[in-house]
Structure 1
Amino acid sequence: MKKYFIVLFVFLLTSLTISFSQKVNSESITEGVRGVWLTNVDSEVLNSREKISEAVELCERLGLNVIFVVTYNKGMTLYPSKVMKNLFDVEIDSAFIGRDPLQEVIEEAHKRNIKVFAWFEFGFSTSYQLDGGHILKKKPEWASKKSDGNLVVKNGFDWMNAFHPEAQNFMLSLIEEVVTNYNVDGIQGDDRLPAMPSEGGYDDFTVSLYKKSHEGKNPPTNFKDEDWVQWRADILTNFLEKLYSRVKAINNNVIVSMSPSIYPWSKEEYLQDWPEWLRRGIVELVCPQVYRYDLSKYQSALTDIVKEQVPTQDLWRIYPGVLIKVGAYYSSEKYLNEMIEYNRENGLNGEVFFFYEGLKKHIQYLENNYNQGKVKFPEFNNYK
């Protein structure tokens, strides 16, 4: 009998120990996005495999678990593209001929268990201060037009018509090409995909499309007319739904992410109705560009997102874009800490830093404060 009780005691003690251990381990491993955008502008990282390896090593050291690498910029890809070759006879950005930076980033990152999202940065923009560049030179019918008939140019960026079926199919083809041929964990659009300046929509194709659903009436001359804005925003939302379906048809595990501007500015200026994207279940990870230069404005913008614009059940899909460098600007360590703390206070266990070069100014801070414990990348593709 005594032997029986001893065995029973040991069994119960072992069970409790295992249970306690499992609880501690489950509590110590949290989920969250710790990301960074990797660019080919104001950065030399993508110029060689060696520099890519060094950058990825730093990301691992700082506790980052995802890299959003530029894949399409300035109307050119950063991988050898048959789509671009067939349409525009430009297979890859000339700076990367003979290489495949996208594949190199994927290989280096996956070695270190860091996820990679292909970031289609330029979206429906065609060029910067080049009157449409090589894309509109070859496809002038794709041009986005203002009410005066001129090409849509906003902040120096020239735009194609995001409502034109051929322009849409072009973007879809690029994304499908990457999802088919590369082991990416996700794809991402930003404030230019899906997007178009609200000044646009006055080209012949879009006017004709509008007339068909409005008893032959022309679009309002006021490009900020509320109904006119909504009508065009809905077209972009429908495009994103198609994009989402196309990606999932190729690989259901590839995550669809977007990094739009702050709402409602995003809708009023670039026709991005991204709260509706969440409602319709056509985006899995949203990284709103909460790019502000002081804490009060950052707090105000983030509070609007978490308290008013996104339902509680979808907040786990929100990870704000945090500006740490642009041009000569670097965020201070104090401000960086305040932004991260405010994210945590609002239940957001992560953020995405814009952009990689800014990390170098904050290495010690991030090593000491940011990379604390294991943070698992969430299972975003378990949407429904």
Structure 2
Amino acid sequence: MPIQFRIRFQHWKKAVLIPLFLVSLFTVLLTGTPGMAQIEVPQIETPSVTSPIVSPPAVRPEIRGVWLTLNDLDVMKDRTKVQDAMNQLGRLNFNTIYPVIWNSGYVTYSSAVAQQQGIQPFVYRGSDGHDILADVVDRAHRQGLLVLPWFEFGFMTPQTSELAVNHPEWLTQQRNGDQTSISGAGEVAWLNPFHPQVQQFITSLVVEVMTQYNVDGIQFDDNMSLPREFGYDPYTRALYKRETKKDVPNNPADQAWMRWRANKITAFMVQLKKAVRDRKPNAIISISPNYYDFAYKFHLQDWIAWIRQGIADELIVQVYRSDLQSFIQKLTRPEIQIALQRVPTGIGIFTGQRTNPVSIRQIQEQTQAARDRGLGVAYFYYESLWDIAPEPASYRQAGFQALFPEPAYRSSSR
């Protein structure tokens, strides 16, 4: 605590003390506070463009979100359950939902774009035939929740989907000719992100959602990418040869080859954002990738460039760890600090599955660790918040109420 001194300001003391004080103050300003360690600005080695100096982030409402997956379809298709779910999320001071709209080569809304490609033999409808997404948006907005539809599968699609069967020329492949890889969704094929018809299809779907529904934006996750083993299809080989005058390297981890493909995906994201903003100027572009080392090195997803180039308006980094220390280590990565300076940033937290339940204590510890570092949170996924859990629903809900005792309203104006 400061100590107050009483000083008689006689002329001879002024003549001595004031100059000494000014000299001391000037010395401190030049050298720093004695005994205080100098703080280094975190740096990250990345092949992305050089980052400009930025000001500290403005105070923003923290992200308190939850994904609604296909596992939550029983909730989303029932009007009463949707109303109860949104009321509960609003009461517990959540502020954002991410309902799935693109999964396994299909959309969860009535899509003329999908039907034109012959990939939607059925339409997801509610229990009384209503439009699921329209109802979710309406009920969420009544509770002050932002709605950012989740384009979950990105460039990924099952090889047996109508999309893959009807458009084999849209698929890319590995050097050995394989067209599939193993993912969290099982064995999947990959749409070629460099093919103009694929880009147009994805863009048309996204713009369609922004046009048909009163949504606040859209979210792309870790599948808006390409495993680095892919890109050896004839179209991409020819494109690379034309642009670089070189053959595609045999090594999928070749740095120049990786950089070329990552830049192509980034360039497409620039175009995609423009298409969205042309339709809805205030739309939020949210991204939810894996941590950067994995995202870029193994999936060519240079999301730091997406942040630096202003493509993304929100970042949720998936950190699905059960060990708290391992979880915290990911939160302190330099790229998280880079993003936090520019956009609302949060951490994706795993809240469990039927076969892999997670305690409310683990959820609270991880949430608090994120919030202590100025980060928001998004939970994967709704059903496991309290409907399928190792503790009673009322106990889990009380746990979330303790985390968020006060509201944090967000605006769709970013």
Q: Tell me how far 1:290 sits from its aligned partner.
A: 1.1
Alpha-carbon separation, structure 1, partners of 2:60 and 2:177: 53
Q: Deviation string for 1:51-98 (max 9, x for gaps)?
A: 211211221122111110001111111110000111115265456594
Alpha-carbon separation, structure 2, partners of 1:313 and 1:41: 31
Q: Deviation string for 1:14-41 (max 9, x for gaps)?
A: xxxxxxxxxxxxxxx9711111001112
**Does structure 2 retain, via aligned residues, the 8 Å contact 1:43–1:357?**
no
Q: Deviation string for 1:131-162 (max 9, x for gaps)?
A: 34211110010011100112132322221111
Alpha-carbon separation, structure 1, partners of 2:231 and 2:294: 18
**Does structure 2 retain, via aligned residues, the 8 Å contact 1:33–1:378?**
no
1:328-339 alignment, distance < 5 Å: 328-339=355-366
TM-score (norm 2): 0.79
Instruction: Find the counterpart in structure 2 of residue 270 from structure 1.
Output: 299
Alpha-carbon separation, structure 1, partners of 2:263 and 2:116: 30
Q: Secondary structure at the match of 2:276?
A: helix
Instruction: Find the counterpart in structure 2 of residue 363 from structure 1.
Output: 397
Q: Tell me how far 1:232 sits from its aligned partner.
A: 0.6
Q: Tell me how far 1:198 sits from its aligned partner.
A: 1.1
Instruction: Find the counterpart in structure 2 of residue 325 from structure 1.
Output: 352
Alpha-carbon separation, structure 1, partners of 2:336 and 2:268: 22
Instruction: Find the counterpart in structure 1 of residue 43 from structure 2.
Output: none
Instruction: Find the counterpart in structure 2 of residue 109 from structure 1.
Output: 140
**Does structure 2 retain, via aligned residues, the 8 Å contact 1:152–1:200?**
no
1:95-134 alignment, distance < 5 Å: 98-127=129-158, 131-134=159-162
The one-letter amino acid of 2:292's match is Y
Instruction: Return 166-175 or 225-234, whichever deviates more.
Output: 225-234
Instruction: Find the counterpart in structure 1 of residue 323 from structure 2.
Output: 294
**Does structure 2 retain, via aligned residues, the 8 Å contact 1:109–1:116?**
yes
**Does structure 2 retain, via aligned residues, the 8 Å contact 1:275–1:310?**
no
**Does structure 2 retain, via aligned residues, the 8 Å contact 1:142–1:161?**
yes
Q: Secondary structure at the match of 1:162?
A: coil
Instruction: Find the counterpart in structure 2 of residue 245 from structure 1.
Output: 274
Instruction: Find the counterpart in structure 1 of residue 196 from structure 2.
Output: 165
1:196-207 alignment, distance < 5 Å: 196-207=226-237
- 2:379 is aligned with 1:353: yes
Structure 2: which 5+ runs fail to align?
1-58, 390-395
Q: Tell me how far 1:371 sits from its aligned partner.
A: 2.5
Q: Deviation string for 1:216-252 (max 9, x for gaps)?
A: x221111122221111111111111111111110111
Alpha-carbon separation, structure 1, partners of 2:181 and 2:123: 23
Instruction: Find the counterpart in structure 2 of residue 74 from structure 1.
Output: 104
Instruction: Find the counterpart in structure 1 of residue 252 from structure 2.
Output: 223
Change (3 A) 1:80 1:135: same
Alpha-carbon separation, structure 1, partners of 2:413 and 2:329: 27
- 2:115 is aligned with 1:85: yes
**Does structure 2 retain, via aligned residues, the 8 Å contact 1:259–1:286?**
yes
**What is the number of residues matched between the two proteins?**
344
TM-score (norm 1): 0.85
Q: Deviation string for 1:84-137 (max 9, x for gaps)?
A: 11111526545659431110101111111111111111111112xxx3421111
The one-letter amino acid of 2:407's match is K
Change (3 A) 1:43 1:163: same
74, 81, 86: which is aligned to 1:51?
81
Alpha-carbon separation, structure 2, partners of 1:379 and 1:171: 23
Change (3 A) 1:229 1:326: farther
Q: Tell me how far 1:315 sits from its aligned partner.
A: 5.4
Alpha-carbon separation, structure 2, partners of 1:34 and 1:294: 22
Alpha-carbon separation, structure 1, partners of 2:344 and 2:301: 17
Give the greater-gyration-radius structure (CA). 2
Q: Secondary structure at the match of 2:270?
A: helix
Q: Secondary structure at the match of 1:287?
A: strand
Alpha-carbon separation, structure 2, partners of 1:243 and 1:132: 27
Instruction: Return 152-161 or 116-125, whichever deviates more.
Output: 152-161
Instruction: Find the counterpart in structure 2 of residue 22 from structure 1.
Output: none
- 2:356 is aligned with 1:340: no
Q: Tell me how far 1:316 sits from its aligned partner.
A: 4.5
Instruction: Return 63-72 or 44-53, whichever deviates more.
Output: 44-53
Give the alignment's Cα RMSD to 1 decimal.
2.0
The one-letter amino acid of 2:149's match is A
Q: Tell me how far 1:379 sits from its aligned partner.
A: 6.2
Alpha-carbon separation, structure 2, partners of 1:224 and 1:310: 27
Instruction: Return 323-332 or 267-276, whichever deviates more.
Output: 323-332
The one-letter amino acid of 1:169's match is Q
Q: Tell me how far 1:285 sits from its aligned partner.
A: 0.3
Alpha-carbon separation, structure 2, partners of 1:312 and 1:133: 36
**Does structure 2 retain, via aligned residues, the 8 Å contact 1:198–1:269?**
yes
- 2:223 is aligned with 1:192: yes
- 2:239 is aligned with 1:213: no
Change (3 A) 1:218 1:170: same
Structure 1: which 5+ runs fail to align?
1-28
Q: Tell me how far 1:172 sits from its aligned partner.
A: 0.5
